[in-house]
Amino acid sequence: MIEAINLAEKLEQFDEHWSPKIVGELNGQYVKLAKFKGEFVWHQHEAEDELFYVTRGELLIQLRDGEVRVRQGEFAIVPRGVRHRPVAEQEVHVLLFEPRSTVNTGEQQGERTRSDEWV
């Protein structure tokens, strides 16, 4: 079955920050929505690239050797193995494309690690 997914409606279904929700799946990739606010943990994904598409607000992705600002309507891809930390001064809404195997905290398992959850 093919259906249109309304991102705004999906984002209204949750309030938690740093807790990505799955809204679709294609070719072994999850499409996720998340709300970010504050600083996340430094981490990396050894085997997966990670795409951050900002649908509202502005996201700062800190890297060991610099940073990237991603504004509404823009995306950035963090290549596998690159240590990074997402930071959101104000609430940011993000669409993520990640392989199913991706753990949100990479190798840094802890209190911010989330299991897969559909909305």
The answer as to whether 70 is a domain residue is yes
Amino acid at 71: R
The answer as to whether 67 is a domain residue is yes
Domain extent for 91: 7-99
Number of separate domains in the chain: 1
**Tens-place pLDDT, residues 67-106:** 999 999 999 999 999 999 999 999 999 999 988 877 776 6
The answer as to whether 111 is a domain residue is no
The answer as to whether 11 is a domain residue is yes
The answer as to whether 63 is a domain residue is yes
Q: Which pTM value belongs to this model?
A: 0.89
Q: What pLDDT, on the 0 to 100 scale, is given for residue 114? A: 78
Assign residue 24 the CATH number of its domain: 2.60.120.10
